[in-house]
């Protein structure tokens, strides 16, 4: 299995989808706890949800492996991303705190070093290569990191998550004018609740590649899954709901492209 799928676009925009993958290595597959076997923390159906962005001309990068193998949106040194409860480069627990692996069935350090070299590193090299290419061609580059999560996870956040959770690393990952335009766009509609730099401020990808001083801008969007799928197994796509959500996603992407 290749570490990622990549489609080259025509716009100065890279859509990164690090958590939609469901591929497992043999040792992870054998080791997963019963609760983890359905891959509950996957960003389900995100490539399908953003099909329109590919049609618009965005480049699209999609990780193939599950975050239970290695989390592409965590730093390679496995520093904690959030001061509150979180999961790491090699998640030991599910979002709800349940162990990811059966006792004694966690992959070895050597196996994990292998995942870092053959899954994590190629994904990040591709991001770097594509952003560099865009900057050479257009003079600037935009990265949109697309995520989704169940709308209620008591261990990670209180109550029900807003529908749209935009993150710009507290304003550091993109030009202030981009944050402003996105904020204005969300404030002008009442169909979906939203927050800018709330619980989800942007993960490693948003933070590492957001360099507005170099005209390289990143934005993360963490979507509440309730607006396009069933949040319980088998996590089915809900076309009726997705059709309602996609217009605002398209407006967000279009606004980002205004830079």
Inter-axis angle of helices 239-258 and 176-187, to 10 degrees?
A: 140
Q: Which is nearer to Zn ion, 43 or 130 (CB)?
A: 43
Judge contact between 145 and 202, C-beta under 8 A. yes
**Is there binding between residue 126 and Zn ion (CB under 5 A)?**
no
Tokens (6 digits) for 157: 């956040």
Q: Which is nearer to Zn ion, 12 or 41 (CB)?
A: 41
Residue 188 CB, nearest approach to Zn ion (Å): 26
Residue 39 CB, nearest approach to Zn ion (Å): 12
With contacts defined by CB under 5 A, how many residues of the chain interact with Zn ion? 3
Q: Which is nearer to Zn ion, 18 or 31 (CB)?
A: 18
Report d(CA 36, CA 100) in Å as an integer: 6
Q: Which is nearer to Zn ion, 12 or 253 (CB)?
A: 253
Q: Which is nearer to Zn ion, 43 or 163 (CB)?
A: 43
Residue 136 CB, nearest approach to Zn ion (Å): 29
Whether the upstream peptide bond of residue 259 has omega within 30° of 0, thus cis, is: no
Judge contact between 149 and 86, C-beta under 8 A. no
Q: How far is CA 256 from CA 5, 54, 169, in A?
A: 23, 15, 16
Residue 196 CB, nearest approach to Zn ion (Å): 18
Residues from 13 through 52 that contact Zn ion (CB under 5 A): 19, 43
The DSSP string of 49-93 is HTHHHHHHT-EEEEE-B-TTT--TTS-TT---S-SSS---SS-SB
Q: What is the dihedral of CA 68, 202, 62, 180, to 10 degrees?
A: 160
Q: Which is nearer to Zn ion, 97 or 176 (CB)?
A: 97
Residues from 234 through 253 that contact Zn ion (CB under 5 A): none
Residue 149 CB, nearest approach to Zn ion (Å): 6
Q: Which is nearer to Zn ion, 59 or 87 (CB)?
A: 87
Q: DSSP character for 203?
A: -
Contact window for Zn ion (CB under 5 A) among 7-15, 87-95, 142-150, 186-194: 142-150
Residue 210 CB, nearest approach to Zn ion (Å): 17
Judge contact between 121 and 178, C-beta under 8 A. no
Judge contact between 69 and 28, C-beta under 8 A. yes
Residue 108 CB, nearest approach to Zn ion (Å): 26
Residues from 143 through 162 that contact Zn ion (CB under 5 A): 147
Residues from 63 through 92 that contact Zn ion (CB under 5 A): none
Residues that bind Zn ion (CB under 5 A): 19, 43, 147
């Amino acid at each position: 299995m290749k570490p990622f799928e990549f489609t080259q676009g025509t716009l100065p925009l890279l859509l990164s989808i690090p958590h939609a993958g469901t591929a497992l290595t043999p040792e992870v597959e054998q080791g997963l706890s019963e609760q983890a076997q359905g891959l509950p923390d996957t960003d389900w159906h995100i490539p399908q949800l953003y099909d329109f962005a590919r049609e618009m001309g965005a480049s699209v990068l999609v990780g193939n492996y599950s975050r239970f193998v290695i989390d592409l949106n965590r730093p390679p040194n496995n520093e904690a991303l959030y001061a509150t409860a979180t999961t790491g480069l090699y998640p030991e627990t599910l979002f709800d705190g349940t162990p990811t692996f059966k006792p004694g069935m966690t992959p070895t350090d050597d196996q994990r070093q292998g995942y870092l070299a053959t899954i994590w590193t190629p994904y990040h090299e591709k991001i770097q290569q594509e952003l560099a290419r865009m900057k050479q061609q257009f003079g600037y580059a935009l990265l949109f990191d697309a995520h989704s999560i169940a709308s209620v996870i008591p261990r990670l956040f209180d109550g029900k998550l807003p529908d749209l959770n935009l993150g710009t690393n507290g304003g550091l990952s993109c030009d202030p004018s981009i944050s402003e335009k996105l904020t204005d766009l969300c404030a002008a509609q009442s169909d979906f609740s939203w927050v800018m730099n709330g619980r989800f401020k942007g993960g490693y990808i948003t933070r590492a590649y957001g360099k507005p001083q170099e005209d390289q801008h990143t934005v993360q969007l963490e979507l509440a899954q309730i607006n396009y799928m069933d949040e319980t197994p088998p996590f089915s796509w809900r076309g009726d709901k997705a059709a309602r959500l996609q217009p605002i996603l398209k407006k967000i992407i279009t606004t980002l492209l205004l830079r």
